[in-house]
Amino acid sequence: MSTPPMKHIPRGPVEVALNFCEPLVDGSPPFQYAQEPPPGQPASNYTQPTVHVLLTDIRGRESDYSLDQDAFQCLQDVQSLSDIPYETFLSDDQIKEIYYPAVQRLLLERVIGAQKVVIFHHVVRIDRSDNPVNRRPLLTVHADQTPRAAVANIHRYIRDTEEVESLLRGRYRIINVWKPINGAVESCPLAFASGSSVDPADLVPIELRFPDEISESVGVKYNEKQRWSYWSGMSNDECLLLKCSDSLESVPLFRSLTRRS
């Protein structure tokens, strides 16, 4: 019996091309359609210049990073998530029934200060030509939520008025849990910047237009002070916690991300 060929997993520092945000010179608010734009409308009204940046591989230094310091955190040996079979992620209903509760338990256990977890969205990204564009790897640097969008989501997904008011008086965070679901990552790994290296002046609110609602994401202007990283060969029992928003103003508020090809 022949031995299967070794899979190629990129390791170490690597230079990649990332697409950043360049606001309009006339000061018009930038917008982007999350799906197909209406006839005659552009998909977005701002440019996305490509910049070559160096990604540092954090493999072997996972414990150096935390949500409060860097706006991301590495979790390893997460058996509760790696035991979930790949087929689960092919069904939205199965994801909500099986994966959501496991993620809720994980965040309550591993995020300092977490008392309640509400999951409101998921995307399974597969790099395949027959997959919808908005479910393939994204190649534009961004953060998922502005502070205003975070507050809107609290009102949208928590129905109890008193609970909403209590949350808004305290600390609340939106955290993206990102993990592989079908073996070690060989291509399009996640690239991310430490929140402590991102100047708030480089964050650009972008109106994100859906068919039935308007939200806000965050574009990122390039700055040579940004420190970009990736986690080589992420496996099913590893996941990244990526902080989108945090009401505690003394810690980095955003992490920036893209998926590189």
The residue that leads in pLDDT, 168 or 257, is 168
Q: Are strands 173-178 and 142-143 parallel, antiparallel or unpaired?
A: unpaired
Give the tens place of pLDDT for each residue, 108-121: 999 999 999 999 99
- The whole model's pTM is what? 0.86
CA gap 112, 125 in Å, rounded:
28
Give the tens place of pLDDT for each residue, 25-79: 888 899 999 888 999 999 999 999 999 999 999 999 999 999 999 999 999 999 9
CA distances from 111 to 49, 51, 65, 67, 202 (A): 35, 33, 13, 8, 27
CA angle 167, 141, 107 (to 5 degrees): 35
